[in-house]
Chain A
Amino acid sequence: MSATSAFSPTVTGAVAVRVLTQLRRDPRTVAMLVVVPCALQTLLWWMFLDVPTAAGQPGTFDRVGPGLLAIFPFVVMFLVTSVVTLRERSSGTLERLLSMPTGRLDLLVGYAAAFGLAAALQSALAVGVSVGLLGLDVAGPTLLLLVVAVADAVLGTALGLFVSAFAQTEFQAVQFMPLLVIPQILLCGLFVQRDALPAVLGALSDVMPLSYAVDAMQHLATETSTGAVWADVALVAGFALAGLLLGALTLRRRTA
């Protein structure tokens, strides 16, 4: 009898391939996943097209655009993951998997890998459209924009996995978005510079992972140095890891 270790690359890979196959079976979701961010980015560009820019200042689109590139993968992957995981819980497949030699980490890392890949594709297109077609100015390396986006997507996946444990229906899962995601969007520095927020809100903003993803994107847009960006990416990855570990705690083999 083969020993069943806590983590198996075969099982993790199988989970990732399975999730991607399921996504592929749903072309409408895939289309929305890749088209919607590009369309929204275009809308944003169009909104600010006729707004006059002060001399020597970056245009509004150049200021706000990078932040939005950080928000898409986070929000989308949060929603997709919480619904997919909830479905896995309610269909009985999760119970079956946990009665088999499946490590909890196999499941979580498999999910994160699959959605991270989907997010890479989504972000590549959104970044391509923004920089190539809409003329978004990015001072730093464009590839690093993608790294931030993927870290951000994994963060969304981790948070989605975690909240799915507290929802009994898809309706409830979706309600976690206004609760957990919108405050992060409001306080991430897109509306009010983070250092100009009232002290309490500034402190809140400091413990919200999305703030660091948006910081990283905005830094990349205006500066060529990358040290601060990597520090932000590390923070986002740390939050994502913590989220995955919390998510692992919610996967119980025995339920009532």
Chain B
Amino acid sequence: MVNNSARPVVEVRGLTVVRGDHRVLDGLDLDVPSGVTGLLGPSGCGKSTLLRSVVGVQRTAGGSVTVLGQEAGSRPLRDRVGYVTQASSVYDDLTVAENLRFFALVLRLGRSRRELVERVDAAVEAVDLGSHRDQVVGHLSGGQRSRVSLAVALLGEPDLLVLDEPTVGLDPVLRRDLWALFHRIADPVDGQGAAVLVSSHVMDEAERCDRLVLMRDGAVLAVDTPDGVKQRTGTDDVEQAFLRLVEQDGGAAA
């Protein structure tokens, strides 16, 4: 269980990532509490790199990332953090159930065969793929495939769920359902009270988050609730707020 009053779930301090000659992230600081946090910014602003650092698969050049009190990517965290990349990261030539069963075994879930099946079924149901359970993933649509990937991340009932653009290319109904699912997972009463960190380059998804992190050029522009961001900038949608913040930022730098 994640306690709201305790320290943030994710603490990033002075994070620097260099790729070639380019500083993708340059001394980035950020705290992520429980609830649903949206990481928003244009493509190429460093969202994926930041998320990879939180999961602990990114080679970093400096700074620290602490997750649930442990160093990101360290062994005790490997079954407490669920991660969905932009690539679907599932096996195309296995069925939905076979994929989930495999990853459930890797996560060492289920003491018995029955418990394992229950875990797999619960994950399949959570992403509404019950009718495709025994279909080979390669034959599914892109949206269905990314839901299989999400199901894998949900398997271990993680305390932190890191999702890199999970709603890209999905139809609006499905997108709404997924956001509802994220909030359910984050709910400490009905769900598992997990922290959910979701990236998106679509600003209209911002309204669905408890908290926003606006990012541009490898730096954090603002961290606030959607309403807070709008009030602070005197605008009435997040896209306008983002533009205003970029102008202010540019003005300060000049």
Contacts and interface: CB of A to CB of B under 8 A. Distances in A.
B88 interface: yes
B152 interface: yes
B72 to A, nearest CB: 10
A21 interface: yes
A21 B60 CA distance: 37
Interface in A1-22: 1-2, 4, 8, 10-11, 13-15, 17-18, 21-22
Given A91-B87, A101-B78, A101-B106, 20 more contacts: A4-B75, A4-B78, A14-B106, A18-B102, A21-B94, A91-B92, A92-B85, A93-B91, A95-B57, A95-B85, A97-B106, A99-B55, A99-B57, A99-B78, A100-B79, A100-B106, A100-B107, A101-B79, A253-B57, A254-B57
Interface in A21-53: 21-22, 25-26
A255 B106 contact: no
B108 interface: yes
5 contacts: A18-B98, A95-B85, A95-B89, A101-B107, A256-B58
Interface residues of B, number: 33
Contact of B93 (A22, A99, A254): A22
A104 B107 CA distance: 14
Nearest to A17: B102
Interface residues of A, number: 30
B67 to A, nearest CB: 12
A256 B19 contact: yes
A101 B156 CA distance: 11
A18 B26 CA distance: 41
A21 B95 CA distance: 10
